Chains A and B, each alone.
Chain A
Amino acid sequence: MSDVSTTANGDTVWVEKDALIDRIPRSVAMVFLFVAVVAIWDLVTRMGWVSPIILPTPGETLADLMFVGGNLLSGDYMLDALWTTTLTVFYSFLIAAGIGFSLGVLVGETKFGERAVMPYLVAIDTMPKVAFAPLFIAWLGFGISSKVALAAFIATFPIVVSTAAGLYAASENERMLFKSIGASRMQILLRLKLPTGLPYIFTGLKIAAVGVMAGVITGEFLGGGKGFGALIRQSASQMNTPRVFALILYLSILGLALYFTVVWVQRRFVFWNKSDQPGAIG
């Protein structure tokens, strides 16, 4: 969009401008959207268009947010639940990262991995992995280990695929350079392919961070135990919808924390590649 005007001496002046919607600053845009959504939410519930059991009012939700927040801050049972879930998420992520990375190197670096291992991984990956939950519970019981197993199982595959893809990312010229200076296969892997593949690997880790959260909560829904997922299911069974909303919001903080930890580590390690990190979302 541009404004065209004419100066005194007859020259034309073009002034280029972004459209109005593109000129709103990020903070204003975020606040505006938040307020708009809450206003519609308030309107819909206040007018009784939606049953309060299905959707509580913003006010009720806020009250429950305060209640859960107070419980967490006072170190009551909800904090124990959150801590259990945090540990479960942490262990799942570490295991998924370790196994996923190792399998990814096997697939990306060796012909055997590519030919023999990858087809089976793809076959398993296409299965609905949540369906394995009863098996994990049967094998590992109702403690956190069955949840860790399910979540790690779900989150491993994106890391395998992204690691393998990352190892292919080095260009033919770069490989030739390394061969021409006498680099061994291990040197090419460690000094060229792995650093080149880091942005890919971190992308896989970010997808895995999301997958781990889903896996842990699913595990806690199905396997009970002491985690936040069990609290949510309990509140839902009591039709305490505002509590469910409040618990989910606090749970999302855990997910965000994990995600942005990965983003932070990526920025430290992959300092040379800014193009993969648009805005604040990483």
Chain B
Amino acid sequence: MTMAVSRNTGQAEPVASPTRPVYEISRLSKTYARNELVALQGVDLSLYKGEFVSVVGSSGCGKSTLLKIMAGLLPPTTGRVMLEGKPVMGPRPDIGMMFQQATLLPWKTTVENIVLPIEIRNGKAAAKAATGRARELLQLVGLGDFGNVYPGELSGGMAQRAAICRMLVADPAVLLLDEPFSALDELTRDFMNMELQRICMERQATAFLVTHSLAEAVILSDRILVMKPRPGRVVEEVPVELPRPRTLEMINTPRFGEIVAHIRDLLGKETFG
């Protein structure tokens, strides 16, 4: 993974500041060599402890590329990508990730699936030692009785809750969420979003969500980055000052509607029509 760290802009870097962001990205660009497509250009982003930040944008705006770079799955072309003060050079144990599908392995029980990251990184013995922790996490997401069943017996929503546990098992510093509930039906999705908020608030988690749904972004986030394609860039950062904890009823408030309308205007109406 190559990363050009440019330090020629001469900006002051605060040393050991108490408000240092958990995740910090500056001047990030990504060009795909194969077709010279500029996927990302000049992206700056800071995630602070306990913050929930979303990125919205149409397909091809580079939000998935951004998430993959943040996860260490894809090398950037230029820029600074720092998690907890250390450059991200590849996948790291302090990054938790969640995908569109729950992607639980059907031959492992729920608990075995949850400790999979530990099994892969630290071996079977460490995974076994972590099963107690996996069971605590299952309690947290309300799946306490389902530790020993196979994923085939879990509903879509339950499987995603198990995936939340797997993401949390190594106690990551940042949670990266790639449209985590988009495969669920709408009612389950609303419910899971509220669950996600509760879990993030309880654990003071720092989370970064990629989504297609403006309503989902607004109900969950403290800030929303609006991205546009060609080249992929952040056009505006929209703060969401609705009080916490958020409830589904807030969707019907005028303020919520204004924020959604504002983002929709930014993206151009045709994008989400």
* Least Cβ–Cβ distance between B104 and chain A, in angstroms: 9
Residues of chain B touching chain A, judged by Cβ–Cβ distance below 8 Å, are: 71-73, 90-93, 95, 97, 99-101, 103, 105-107, 116-117, 120-121, 150, 152
A271: B residues at CB distance < 8 A: 107
Contact status A173-B101, CB under 8 Å: yes
* Least Cβ–Cβ distance between A93 and chain B, in angstroms: 25
* Least Cβ–Cβ distance between A265 and chain B, in angstroms: 15
> CA separation between A271 and B73, bound complex, in Å?
32
Contact status A176-B152, CB under 8 Å: no
CB contact list, A186-215 vs B, under 8 A: 187, 191-192, 195
Contact of A182 among B103, B106, B121, B150 (CB under 8 A): B121
* Least Cβ–Cβ distance between B47 and chain A, in angstroms: 18
A273: B residues at CB distance < 8 A: 106
Contact of B91 among A173, A174, A179, A191 (CB under 8 A): A179
B72: A residues at CB distance < 8 A: 180
B101: A residues at CB distance < 8 A: 171, 173
B93: A residues at CB distance < 8 A: 182
Contact status B73-A174, CB under 8 Å: no
B121: A residues at CB distance < 8 A: 181-182
Contact status B103-A174, CB under 8 Å: yes
Within 8 Å of chain B (Cβ to Cβ): is A272?
A: yes
Within 8 Å of chain B (Cβ to Cβ): is A178?
A: yes
Contact status B91-A171, CB under 8 Å: no
> CA separation between A180 and B96, bound complex, in Å?
8
> CA separation between A166 and B95, bound complex, in Å?
30
Contact of B120 among A171, A182, A195, A272 (CB under 8 A): A182
B106: A residues at CB distance < 8 A: 272-273
> CA separation between A178 and B99, bound complex, in Å?
12
Q: Mark A264-276, 1 if CB is under 8 A from B, else 0.
A: 0000000111000
From known contacts A174-B103, A177-B103, A272-B150, infer whether A182 and B91 are also in contact, taking CB-CB under 8 Å. yes
A171: B residues at CB distance < 8 A: 101, 103
* Least Cβ–Cβ distance between B188 and chain A, in angstroms: 19
Within 8 Å of chain B (Cβ to Cβ): is A55?
A: no
Contact status B91-A180, CB under 8 Å: yes
B152: A residues at CB distance < 8 A: 272
A191: B residues at CB distance < 8 A: 120
From known contacts A192-B105, A272-B106, A273-B106, infer whether A180 and B97 are also in contact, taking CB-CB under 8 Å. yes
A176: B residues at CB distance < 8 A: 73, 99
Contact of B105 among A180, A182, A187, A195 (CB under 8 A): A195
Within 8 Å of chain B (Cβ to Cβ): is A68?
A: no
> CA separation between A181 and B116, bound complex, in Å?
8
Within 8 Å of chain B (Cβ to Cβ): is A183?
A: yes
* Least Cβ–Cβ distance between A5 and chain B, in angstroms: 37
28 example contacts (A-B, Cβ-Cβ < 8 A) are as follows A171-B101, A173-B99, A173-B101, A173-B103, A174-B105, A176-B73, A177-B97, A177-B103, A179-B73, A180-B71, A180-B91, A181-B91, A181-B120, A181-B121, A182-B91, A182-B92, A182-B117, A182-B120, A183-B120, A187-B120, A191-B120, A192-B105, A195-B107, A271-B107, A272-B107, A272-B150, A272-B152, A273-B106
Contact status B100-A173, CB under 8 Å: yes
Closest to A270 in B: B107
Among A177, A187, A191, A195, which residue has the most Cβ atoms of chain B within 10 A? Answer: A177
* Least Cβ–Cβ distance between B154 and chain A, in angstroms: 12
> CA separation between A177 and B113, bound complex, in Å?
12
* Least Cβ–Cβ distance between B43 and chain A, in angstroms: 20
> CA separation between A191 and B101, bound complex, in Å?
19
B91: A residues at CB distance < 8 A: 179-182
B105: A residues at CB distance < 8 A: 174, 192, 195
B100: A residues at CB distance < 8 A: 173
**5 tightest A-B contacts by CB?**
A272-B106, A181-B117, A180-B97, A182-B91, A173-B103
> CA separation between A195 and B92, bound complex, in Å?
25
